[in-house]
Amino acid sequence: MKKIGITCYPTIGGSGVIATELGKKLAEKGHEIHFITSSMPFRLEKVFVNVYYHQVEMSHYPVFQYPPYDLALAAKMAEVIDREKLDILHVHYAMPHAICGILARDMAKHPVKIVTTLHGTDITILGIDNTLKPVIRHGIERSDAVTAVSESLRRQTVEMVDIKKEIDVIYNFINEKEYYPQKGIELRHQFRINPADKIMIHVSNFRKVKRVQDIIDTFKIVNEQLPSKLLLIGDGPEYSNMVQHVNELGLKAEVRFLGKQNNVSDILAMADLMLLLSEKESFGLVLLEAMACGVPGIGTNVGGIPEVVTHQKTGFIVELGDVKQAAAYAIELLSDSDKQQQFSEAVTEHVRTYFASEKIVNQYEALYDRVLKEGKRG
Ligand code: GMT
């Protein structure tokens, strides 16, 4: 049994989901888990045995124009490391969490190992910023172990941030108790969607990199040929532009904006196809969540997406911005029920084989063992 601290962004988002689900799985296996975050991670809504939550407290002195959250986090981490005698502090994102973890390790009296998981945007977006690059590099180089959620992200990190350190690839995984194939007939009825309509779905934080407009444009072509609906889940900077785009295309009745949703699995259950046409995506957890529910996806040939979706087997890969090709694949699949069934079976099998929670959690445990052993030798 190990004592493991976890820091992540607690709000809705793939990295928070993975960090929280990993903590819950490790707790089920008997480890003691301490979440150190700014607020309760949204997937920790119930009571879980072996799971503890430590909130980062902020002091608001008028002298600070910007309250130093990162330092408050580091102080809380050091406090929890010493009081709970943590073996491992597993932080999600180099910026700023790895830096805070390293500072906390320096401050704490109890020896702790820092494991950093890279999820993407800290490298693919912040890593481009030359003022932040040395900070990100320091966070990575000084961690005791570093993982990336895809081979593509590992490669990009080495190239963009000029990293010498070994980075392990550990893929994201699925909570099988929540994401599994179910028939969403009842929900379809509640949403007043005709049983004959094909349902396409997209889930994101509506940032520009997600290219939600490409999703809507793809849907427009599909909708001209097949009775269909598009469900858009999430909220973010591009939301109102997308509402306007839908209205301009005259698709108001066909496109449903559902906003932020906590229980996406229920909605995925009634979908036929997931679309993720981003210009940056280190993994694309929403594709995996859909696949676990038996829903194939169309994704761009970008970042880690082709590591999640196998072209022509568990979905389709298109070049960035090629909405015509995306629509052609969608029509090919959705107008052939045998093919849809075949893909639906293939995706669940693919998830079970490569992204099962047990397999991935074992990989993290093996990494923790390795890091602790290396520490003893040193
Ligand atoms: O996609 C986002 O903007 C959210 C971000 C996050 O912090 O959750 O997602 C990143 O981490 C996810 C979990 O590993 C990945 O599935 C997403 O692909 C990754 N996003 C990007 O690379 C843009």
Q: How far is the CA of 320 from the centre of ligand 1 (A)?
A: 18
On whether the 3-173+356-377 domain is CATH 2.60.320.10, my answer is: no
Lining ligand 1 with CB less than 6 A are 9, 13-15, 18, 119-121, 124, 149, 172, 205, 207, 209, 280-285
CA of 286 to the centre of ligand 1 (A): 9
Residue 169 has, within 13 A of its CA and on its CB side, a CA count of: 16
Region(s) of the chain under CATH 3.40.50.2000: 3-173+356-377, 185-354
Strand 145-148 and strand 113-118: the pairing is parallel
- Per residue in 350-377, pLDDT tens? 999 999 999 999 999 999 999 999 876 4
3-state secondary structure of 9: coil
| Cα 283 from Cα 171, distance rounded (Å) | 8
Q: Give the pLDDT confidence score for residue 46 in this predicted structure.
A: 80
Q: What is the SS3 assignment for 325?
A: helix
155-167: pLDDT as tens digits:
999 998 888 899 9
Distance CA 305, CA 285 (A): 9
Query: Beta partners for 90?
Result: 6, 115
CA of 57 to the centre of ligand 1 (A): 26
Which residues, including other chains, have CB under 8 Å from residue 208's CB and lie 6 or more apart?
Answer: 237, 238
In the chain, what percentage of residues exceed pLDDT 90? Answer: 81
Q: Which atom of ligand 1 is nearest to the CA of 117?
A: 14
The two three-digit tokens of residue 255, written as one number: 């496109």
Give the CA-trace dihedral at 219, 224, 227, 232, to 10 degrees. 20
Question: Which range (40-54, 220-234, 284-298, 315-329) has the least confidence?
Answer: 40-54
- Whole-number percent of the chain with pLDDT over 70: 97
The DSSP H or E segment spanning 343 is helix 337-354
Q: Which of 376, 372, 365 is closest to 30 using CA atoms? A: 365
Of 335, 346, 332, residue with least CA distance to 294: 346
Distance, in Å, from the CA atom of 214 to the CA atom of 200, rounded to the nearest integer, reads: 13
Separation between Cα atoms, residue 326 and residue 331, nearest integer Å: 9
Predicted confidence band of residue 378 (pLDDT cuts 50, 70, 90): very low
Query: 150 alpha carbon to ligand 1 midpoint, in Å?
Result: 11
* Minimum-distance ligand 1 atom for the alpha carbon of 282: 22
Centroid of ligand 1 to alpha carbon of 144 (angstroms): 23
Q: Which has more confidence, 108 or 122?
A: 108
185-354 under CATH 3.40.50.11540, yes or no: no
Q: Residues 67-76: what's their mean pLDDT?
A: 92
Which of 21, 282, 300, 302 is the pocket-test mutation for ligand 1 (most atoms within 8 Å of CB)?
282
The radius of gyration of the chain from alpha carbons, rounded to an integer in Å, stands at 21
d(C-alpha 28, C-alpha 20), whole Å = 12
Q: What is the mean pLDDT of residues 22-31?
A: 97
CB 329 within 8 A of CB 312: no
Query: Residue 188 and residue 116: Cα distance in Å, rounded?
Result: 41
Atom of ligand 1 nearest to the CA of 172: 14
Tell me which of 155, 207, 281, 309 to substitute to probe ligand 1's pocket, judged by most ligand atoms within 8 Å of the beta carbon.
Answer: 281
∠ CA 300-235-193, nearest 5°, is 80
If one residue of 9, 15, 152 were mutated to test the ligand 1 pocket, choosing by the most ligand atoms within 8 A of its CB, it would be: 15
Kindly tell me if the per-residue pLDDT of 90 is higher than 80: yes
Q: Return the SS3 of 370.
A: helix
Q: How far is the CA of 122 from the centre of ligand 1 (A)?
A: 10
Q: Which residues make Cβ contacts (< 8 Å) with residue 108, sequence separation at least 6?
A: 77, 78, 81, 82
pLDDT in tens, 182-209: 876 678 888 899 999 999 999 999 999 9
Q: For residues 138 and 140, what is the distance between their CA atoms, to the nearest angstrom?
A: 5
pLDDT above 60: residue 5: yes
Both tokens of residue 176?
């099988």
pTM: 0.95
Tokens of 130: 């030359």
Ligand 1, residue 283: give the atom nearest the CA: 18
